[in-house]
């Protein structure tokens, strides 16, 4: 695209100003009747098509148990798209062209004959590449991964020896197991008939523009790059706040809790990007090597450390927007005496040269006052000898805040002299807003991720060793919680920033949480 292209045109492109090279290929979605397919995957593929990012030709095949025709499935998807599309109204003409490439294959995951049918369908598409370049999206329960993979192999659609000049890839989503042993088993299942390089594990946080920018920001700006270490940074706060409760997902949440649902993946991924060393190149493996090193450098948490460094929380009934929200224990499918955490805060140390002694505070929770995710880099204070007396507690240390969502942007906070005859100082702020600078550019993470998987770039996907190392950390924390019910200091009212115990965690070191603000 060039400067003369209209703004609208550029805004619809998931990779501004650049077209990814993607081979003609077929995308097969297992679990085609599920929510993920209609809410996220099909809208993402439709938008990629609108932005002319899908290859020519391409095919999408939905594989699921229910009996239905191609026409019926397309109609269902259209209905969902009308509801969930990020651009409205849906362009009828483009949808017509797009959906002519969408097919349905009825079958049970455990039925070998269904895979033979799938193989035949792919073979009937008329273009050799559509039969040979295959992306299998497993939007199924992880308990079905092993079977699907084995059956695909049996039908000759997936193998460790990809036929010359073609590719076969698997895309999966969390949960990647529920602890280290189950994650290892899952990874072993996935790589029985495929190499690790054929497996693309999604963490949708890595599809977020602002999360990707962490790396670019750090390593392309010398003024920050030079300060990004223990000498200049006092501590780091990573907050992923959610204003919603667990809603209808009580059953799932009882099994997962905030630590498996959010920390094992999203928070530890953000932490890796914030703390990693510069990679030797921008290749997927170089970047992932550095990320995994960060996870490996996290100081192990023994039982006693968990007590001192990790806080759980659970919401009780409280007001949000003037409305009373139920406590977690009153949510559907939740035990009335459940000790499952809807909030976690932790203090981690990275035992490596760059970060030795610098605390990294991570927190996430449901029913907090605001849905907002931020990384806050709190710099060290200057000596207070000169201004403290004049400025009192107004003198604050510098902070750089990377606002990941919403109101995406970056703010730098520093002190400025209040105009006038006094020597008073006050914190002021410089702010960069993505919207103001680049316009409202809001592609869904799935658009970017699907495109990357189709083009074979694994940078934004989680490698096996990252998953397993992250589980090691989470498992040690969960071990520390075993047999310990929540204490009174670990409950918080819905609509507040978490339990008192979480404030205490920071207060030990003279720190305090800096809560994200509604408008940046
Ligand atoms: C998901 C979790 O992975 O991430 C949800 O399962 C959570 O519980 C969601 O709400 C948050 O994602 P986002 O993109 O809204 O920050």
Of 46, 102, 45, 40, the closest CA to residue 69 belongs to 102
The residues facing 372 across adjacent strands are 241
State yes or no: is 431 an active-site residue. Answer: no
d(C-alpha 133, C-alpha 137), whole Å: 13
How far separated are the first and last CA of the chain, in Å rounded? Answer: 32
Tell which one of 35, 210, 242, 370 to mutate to probe ligand 1, the residue whose CB is within 8 A of the most ligand atoms.
242
User: How much is the CA Rg of the chain, to the nearest whole Å?
Assistant: 24
Pairing of strands 102-106, 58-64: parallel
Q: Rounded CA gap, 154 and 143, in Å?
A: 18
Distance CA 163, CA 455 (A): 17
Residues in the chain: 520
Q: Distance (Å, rounded) from C-alpha 27 to C-alpha 31?
A: 13
Q: Whose CA is nearest to atom 9 of ligand 1?
A: 262
Which residue's CA is minimally distant from atom 2 of ligand 1?
261
DSSP codes, 384-437: STTTHHHHGGG----EEEEEEESS-EEEEEEEEEPSSSS--EEEEEEEEEHHHH
**Ligand 1 in contact with 203 (CB < 6 A)?**
no
Q: Greatest CA span in the chain, whole angstroms?
A: 85
Taking the centre of ligand 1 as the mean of its atom positions, its distance from the CA of residue 194, in whole angstroms, is 29
Is the overall model pTM greater than 0.85, yes or no?
yes
> Strand 359-365 and strand 343-349: pairing?
antiparallel
CB 60 within 8 A of CB 37: no
pLDDT at position 383 is: 82
- Phi, psi values for residue 95, rounded to 5°: -60, -45
Contact 129, 169 (CB under 8 A): no
Residues of the chain with CATH 3.40.50.720: 25-173
Q: What is the pLDDT of residue 9?
A: 42
Q: Using alpha carbons only, what angle is made at residue 481 by residues 470 and 500, rounded to the nearest 5 degrees?
A: 100
Burial of 47 (0-12, 13-18, 19+ CB in 10 A): buried
By CB atoms closer than 10 A (0-12, 13-18, 19+), residue 103 is buried
Nearest CA to ligand 1 atom 13: 205
For domain 206-381+461-507, the CATH superfamily is: Dihydrodipicolinate Reductase; domain 2 (3.30.360.10)
Q: Tens-of-pLDDT digits for all 520 residues of the chain?
A: 343 444 344 344 444 557 888 999 999 999 999 999 999 999 999 999 999 999 999 999 999 999 999 999 999 999 999 999 999 999 999 999 999 999 999 999 999 999 999 999 999 998 999 999 999 999 999 999 999 999 999 999 999 998 889 999 999 999 999 999 999 999 999 999 999 999 999 999 999 999 999 999 999 999 999 999 999 999 999 999 999 999 999 999 999 999 999 999 999 999 999 999 999 999 999 999 999 999 999 999 998 999 999 999 999 999 998 999 999 999 999 999 999 999 999 999 999 999 999 999 999 999 999 999 999 999 998 887 777 766 665 578 999 999 999 999 999 999 998 899 887 888 999 999 999 999 876 678 899 999 999 999 999 999 999 999 999 999 999 999 999 999 999 999 999 999 999 999 999 999 999 999 987 5
Q: Which atom of ligand 1 is nearest to the CA of 174?
A: 3
Asked whether 275 and 354 are in contact (CB, 8 A), the reply is: yes
CATH 3.30.360.10, the chain: domain bounds = 206-381+461-507
Cα–Cα distances in Å, from 262 out to 44, 150, 475?
23, 30, 14
Return d(Cα 103, Cα 400) in angstroms, integer: 49
Q: Looking at the CA of residue 244, tell me the nearest atom of ligand 1.
A: 10
State which of 266, 268, 340, 406 you would mutate to test the pocket of ligand 1, scoring each by most atoms of that ligand within 8 A of its C-beta: 266
Q: Which of 149, 262, 136 is nearest to 204 (CA)?
A: 262
The fourth-level CATH superfamily of domain 25-173 is: NAD(P)-binding Rossmann-like Domain (3.40.50.720)
Cα 11 from Cα 181, distance rounded (Å): 43
Assess whether the previous peptide bond of 406 is cis (omega < 30° from 0): yes
> Ligand 1 mean position to 453 CA, how many Å?
21
The rounded Å distance from CA 425 to ligand 1 centre is: 40
199 within 8 A of 190, measured Cβ to Cβ: yes
Atom of ligand 1 lying closest to residue 240 CA? 16
Helix (H) or strand (E) holding 91: none
305 C-beta closer than 6 A to ligand 1: no
- Active site residue: 195, 204, 266, 511, which one? 266
Alpha helices in 85-195 (DSSP H): 92-99, 112-123, 128-132, 145-154, 180-190
Annotate 4-60 with DSSP letters as a single string.
TS-HHHHHH-SSTT------SEEEEEESTTSHHIIIIIHHHHHHHHHTT-S-SSEEE
In three-state form (DSSP H/G/I as H, E/B as E, the rest C), the secondary structure along 451-509 is HHHHHCCCCCECCHHHHHHHHHHHHHHHHHHCCCCCCHHHEEECCCCCCHHHHHHHHCC
DSSP structure class, residue 230: T
Which residue in the block uniquely carries the two structure tokens 């085609």? 32
Does any ligand 1 atom lie closer than 6 A to the CB of residue 374? no
Does the C-beta of 261 come closer than 6 Å to ligand 1? yes
Pocket test for ligand 1, best of 203, 261, 263 (most atoms within 8 A of CB): 261
Q: Give pLDDT, residue 367.
A: 98
Question: Considering only CA atoms, which residue is closest to atom 14 of ligand 1?
Answer: 205
Q: Which atom of ligand 1 is nearest to the CA of 253?
A: 8
């Amino acid at each position: 695209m060039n400067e003369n292209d209209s703004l609208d045109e550029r805004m619809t492109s998931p990779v501004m100003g650049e077209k990814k090279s993607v081979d003609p290929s077929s995308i097969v979605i297992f679990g085609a009747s599920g929510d993920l397919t209609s809410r996220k995957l099909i809208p993402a593929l439709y938008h990629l098509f609108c932005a002319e990012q899908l290859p020519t030709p391409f095919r999408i095949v939905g594989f699921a148990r229910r009996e239905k025709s191609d026409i019926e499935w397309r109609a269902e998807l259209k209905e969902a798209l009308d509801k969930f599309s990020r651009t409205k109204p849906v362009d009828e003409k483009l949808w017509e062209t797009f959906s002519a490439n969408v097919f349905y294959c009825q079958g049970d995951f455990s039925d070998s004959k269904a895979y033979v049918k799938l193989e035949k369908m792919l073979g009937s598409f008329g273009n050799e590449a559509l039969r040979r370049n295959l992306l299998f999206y497993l939007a199924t329960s992880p308990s079905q991964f092993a079977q699907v993979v084995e059956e695909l192999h049996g039908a000759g659609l997936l193998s460790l020896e990809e036929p010359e000049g073609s590719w076969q890839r698997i895309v999966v989503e969390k949960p990647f197991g529920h602890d280290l042993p189950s994650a290892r088993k899952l990874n072993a299942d996935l790589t029985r008939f495929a190499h690790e390089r054929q497996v693309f594990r999604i963490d949708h946080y890595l599809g977020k523009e602002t999360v990707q920018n962490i790396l670019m920001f750090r390593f392309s700006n010398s003024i920050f790059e030079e300060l990004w270490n223990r000498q200049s940074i006092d501590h780091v706060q990573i907050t992923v706040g959610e204003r919603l409760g667990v809603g209808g997902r009580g059953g799932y949440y009882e099994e997962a809790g905030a630590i498996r649902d959010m920390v094992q993946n999203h928070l530890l991924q953000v932490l890796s990007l914030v703390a990693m060393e510069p990679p030797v190149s921008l290749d997927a493996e170089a970047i992932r090597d550095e990320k995994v090193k960060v996870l490996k450098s996290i100081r192990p948490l023994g039982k006693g450390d968990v007590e001192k460094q990790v806080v759980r929380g659970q919401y009780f009934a409280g007001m949000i927007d003037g409305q009373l929200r139920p406590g977690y224990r009153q949510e559907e499918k939740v035990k009335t005496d459940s000790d499952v955490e809807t909030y976690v805060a932790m203090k981690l140390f990275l035992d490596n040269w760059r970060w030795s002694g610098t605390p990294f505070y991570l927190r996430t929770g449901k029913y907090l006052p605001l849905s907002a995710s931020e990384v806050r880099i709190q710099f060290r204070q200057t000596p207070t000898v000169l201004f403290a007396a004049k400025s009192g507690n107004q003198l604050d240390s510098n902070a750089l805040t990377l606002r990941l969502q919403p109101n995406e942007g970056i703010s730098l906070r520093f002190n400025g002299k209040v105009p006038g005859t006094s020597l008073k100082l006050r914190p002021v702020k410089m702010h960069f807003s993505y919207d103001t600078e680049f316009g409202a550019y809001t592609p869904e993470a799935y658009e970017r991720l699907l495109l990357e998987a189709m083009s074979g770039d694994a940078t934004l996907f989680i490698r096996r060793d990252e998953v397993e190392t992250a589980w090691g950390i989470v498992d040690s924390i969960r071990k520390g919680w075993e047999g310990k019910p929540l204490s009174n200091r670990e409950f918080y009212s819905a609509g507040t920033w978490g339990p008192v115990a979480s404030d205490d965690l920071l207060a030990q070191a003279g720190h305090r949480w800096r809560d994200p603000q509604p408008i940046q």
